[in-house]
A and B are shown apart, each in its own frame.
Chain A
């Protein structure tokens, strides 16, 4: 039976589950779902394909891979072939220390990826010539949309206008049209080759593609001047590799730069994921969307990184946030940054020159055979005019195994890249020759090309920071990446019990296809026939997701949960508009909702009206009815999260949905908590019209340290025509594109496909049961020390529980922050802090954690509660307590003048000491539970240890203590860093 994957995925075997049930007073074989989930929501057994073993899944994936034809893409348009350095692939992409980490909200245990992101910001700032860069955005097109809304925010113009380069990438145009339409922004064309100031009249901003889709490369300066004179900002979509050679947007006067770092070593992957970037002038710093890493200091005064200016984010500012983006593309940003570290500025220049020389030599060769190629400066892209023959040329190229871009019937675009070979160039020439042509006499000679960009040449040095110069050998690089990973706490070290984040196992088999060239090397705009295997896989995934959600149609395009929300809300708006009810622009959102809901609603053009929550934490039906009455025919949508953000199965969800429907509104059900429903209940059946799912939570895509995310949007039949479309990929729609690529982050959806295939219907059902069981077990074990704030019918929570620390804090002064930081000393990542209620911790153990690990966590929490009692009783002054001084670094514990009223060893090995009556005088946590809920697991010393374990001194360390994870920095001072902003390496 060991080949059954579910047994590898689920942390609780039958006997562990039975123990938990006993603690909760359930029958040995009874599913907690029968008690916790309201009867009325129950759905039948999902109908999914037969379950596959891991090996069968790999074999099936290989079959699908063989249906793909990556060919050699020279399509360009923002996606290029690139070589992922093997040292990066092996040590980052395939390394769980990087991909199983969470967003670095707990800076003390995230210094490694914060440093990598700091390098990313530095790289972008240096390349774009703008002082402040964020830590990545979702893709180039949505980054351009963020630039547009940024311009809109700072502009003093009343009329909403935005000028757009006529030679912009088509996918950027498509996403800008969608987003501008929702906000009532008018897009006007602008040609930087023949700049016309009248196009900028009243415009908040101007967006120029640098280089244009056709390869056009013009000086940005005249456009910058013209834009500024008109009171508009200049935003530039810039190719970062090209910037190694040409004048930076910042130097040319741009205010904002955006772009994709895909070609810095991240495979095209049929569309993503890749890290986009945005950098801005200093004065726009507080308008910058996305996450931003900044330098601060820790409690000992040592430099320490953390996320800066977080109050701009949606979870705080809600509908007033700078953007709805919460997920970034951390894993991909780290890869791109490390590509720059590996190659250094000189290496990047060399690669860029080679790419450019290939394009320049190819242009020469094409001219020699009489082709009409665009004149003027170029970097890597050629526009070739072949009147009436574009399709024929592209077809000829296809037969040679090349993919070129048919721009229109007369024009072919093509781009060279890092992987271009002499054979590619020769084949391009062949494709343009008529069958009876004599081969051209002249050889193609890239080596003879010396790049000369004239006044557009980049001047001065860039990326002079030591990090870009110290890691040229593989040994040095491997050790650098290892040193960064060692600073971080990820799932490879222990449990990350973050409520609402579902940090479950990301199995190796699920991820195995990511680096296969058949999936990795597909351009998103390749002919669909080239991607038959990927499309088949996505069709199978889509069918399974529809079966599990009870919806009728789905789009995999949104590349983050926030984008799924936006897509769903846009679909609703469009639906009302087409039915002659464009005035339905009010979006009702419970006050308990995640802030992203409100931010997405604002970006979709809704006015947000909050709905109150009752004393039990449930949406107040009374207030909902009042709001529906008050706003009547203006209400377009009600956004709900189910189970609620309080981690509770609200019993009245059907009534709530019905009330909204009766008022003519549509119901959006946020799928962030779908892990509590999979296989048991279907949002499409209990009242939802549309939902997004978080494949990175519920369906095993790793969090990657803060991205990639994937947020498919699924809906009932009547909304299907309004799901996201795209100019390419065969996706017509009435709503337009929300992401750059037709199928979004297509590469990583194979993870969710494999997860579902290997779990099967019964495995998925069991996973939900175990996730809910584990959460209820945690609630029961911790109740005596930390009351659970909200419970559903029967006293059960859903897949997570909200621990109320407010009374605890009031009594002892010990805050949620103190508890979170002290957990680090115990070797844990903190639960979610102060969301959705200030002064609480939200714990989600998921189905993957074992009873031992869950007990270890509960023991740690109870030991912390006991420590807080020492503070409350006055034994320890709060400021000198191990709670406030947590986390303890080795250096702090070894300080010569140890002044704290507790022994150093208690700082380092609290679990060890907490278990005995030894040093520190901490009562046994088993006694502190007062419940006898579960046997305390730790007291036994495993054979082979030193044998002095029971003494409770630091000499008696067990294996876990010996392998202790040491936080590299002490408590980070967020205020200091926000008052003294340092946002890149000096």
Chain B
């Protein structure tokens, strides 16, 4: 597994956020999550304009093993979704921190976010 990018913030639900303080927070799932999910085949993302609440369910990520809820790490209005990942869900597996991003929110508040070291500890516990 690759190193965890140090410029991102994380949630206990294995999502990442870039720029949680805005103006546009980009959100995706971590490499750890992508590996655990297996081949991602479908994404149900919130629509641009939707309001999401930090910690609330806002979509689904479907792999060949499971259907898991997506949670919003921050509160605010959805300003963009990654059309490329809708067409090619495998991007989540191939490049979870990059081209496999999911959606962007104009944040007004954020939930409990972890720094990269805290997240690294969390996943280390999870694998033991």
Contacts and interface: CB of A to CB of B under 8 A. Distances in A.
Given A975-B39, A979-B90, A316 B67 contact: yes
A974 B64 contact: yes
A842 B41 CA distance: 28
B64 A978 contact: yes
Interface string B80-109: 000000001110000000000000000000
Contacts of A309: 62
Contacts of B66: 311, 316-317
B63 interface: yes
A308 to B, nearest CB: 9
A386 B98 CA distance: 75
* B interface, size bucket: 10 to 19
Contacts of B38: 975
Contacts of A320: 67
A312 interface: yes
A286 interface: yes
A974 B42 CA distance: 13
A979 B41 contact: yes
Interface residues of A, number: 12
A311 B62 contact: yes
Contacts of A310: 64
Contacts of B90: 975, 979
Nearest to A980: B41
B60 to A, nearest CB: 9
B59 to A, nearest CB: 12
A311 B39 contact: no
Interface string B18-59: 000000000000000000001101101000000000000000
A978 B67 CA distance: 13
Nearest to A308: B41
Contacts of B39: 974-975, 978
A314 to B, nearest CB: 12
A309 B90 CA distance: 15
A311 B63 contact: yes
A309 B67 CA distance: 10
A975 B41 contact: yes
Contacts of A286: 42, 44, 62
Contacts of A978: 39, 41-42, 62, 64
Interface string A946-986: 00000000000000000000000000001100110000000
A311 B62 CA distance: 8
A317 B69 CA distance: 11
Contacts of B67: 311-312, 316-317, 320
A979 B39 CA distance: 10
A875 to B, nearest CB: 28
Contacts, number: 35
A979 B89 contact: yes
Contacts of A974: 39, 64
A311 B89 contact: no
A231 B33 CA distance: 36
A320 B62 CA distance: 14
A286 B62 CA distance: 10
Interface string A311-327: 11000110010000000
Nearest to B69: A320
A320 B68 CA distance: 10
User: Most A CB atoms within 10 A — which of B42, B44, B64?
Assistant: B64
Question: Which label, helix, strand, loop or mixed, suits the secondary structure of the A interface?
Answer: helix
Nearest to B87: A979
A701 B62 CA distance: 35
A316 B63 CA distance: 11
A286 B41 CA distance: 12
B47 to A, nearest CB: 13
A657 to B, nearest CB: 32
Contacts of A317: 66-67
A913 B101 CA distance: 50
Nearest to B38: A975
Contacts of B44: 286
Contacts of A979: 41-42, 88-90
Nearest to B65: A311
A320 B69 CA distance: 11
A94 to B, nearest CB: 37
A311 B63 CA distance: 8
A975 B42 contact: no
A320 B64 CA distance: 17
Contacts of B89: 979
A309 B66 CA distance: 10
Nearest to B63: A311
A284 to B, nearest CB: 13
A312 B89 CA distance: 17
A320 B39 CA distance: 21
Contacts of B42: 286, 978-979
Contacts of B64: 310-311, 974-975, 978
A484 to B, nearest CB: 26
A606 to B, nearest CB: 21
A829 to B, nearest CB: 21
Contacts of A975: 38-39, 41, 64, 90
Contacts of B62: 286, 309, 311, 978
A320 B41 CA distance: 19
Contacts of B65: 311, 316
B27 to A, nearest CB: 22
B100 to A, nearest CB: 14
A10 to B, nearest CB: 39
A286 B63 CA distance: 13
A979 B64 CA distance: 10
A478 B64 CA distance: 36
Interface in A286-318: 286, 309-312, 316-317
Contacts of B88: 979
Nearest to A316: B66
Nearest to B88: A979
Contacts of A311: 62-67
A286 B67 CA distance: 11
B126 to A, nearest CB: 15
Contacts of A312: 67
B65 to A, nearest CB: 7
A316 B65 CA distance: 8
Contacts of B63: 311
Nearest to A322: B67
A906 B63 CA distance: 34
A312 B67 CA distance: 7
A310 B64 CA distance: 7
A311 B40 CA distance: 11
A286 B42 CA distance: 10
A974 B64 CA distance: 7
Nearest to A978: B41
A979 B90 CA distance: 8
A949 to B, nearest CB: 42
Nearest to A317: B67
A978 B37 CA distance: 14
Contacts of A316: 65-67
B93 to A, nearest CB: 9
A638 B41 CA distance: 36
Nearest to B93: A975
A516 B42 CA distance: 48
Q: Of residues A309, A312, A317, A979, which shows the largest number of chain B Cβ atoms within 10 Å of its Cβ?
A: A979
A970 B89 CA distance: 24
A317 B44 CA distance: 16
Nearest to A310: B64
A312 B64 CA distance: 10
8 contacts: A286-B44, A286-B62, A311-B65, A312-B67, A316-B66, A317-B66, A320-B67, A974-B39
Q: Which 6 residue pairs of A and B lie closest in terms of their CB atoms, listed nearest first?
A: A975-B39, A978-B41, A311-B67, A979-B41, A974-B64, A975-B64
Interface of B: 38-39, 41-42, 44, 62-67, 88-90
Given A316-B65, A979-B41, 14 more contacts: A286-B62, A311-B62, A311-B64, A311-B65, A311-B66, A317-B66, A317-B67, A974-B64, A975-B38, A978-B39, A978-B64, A979-B42, A979-B88, A979-B90
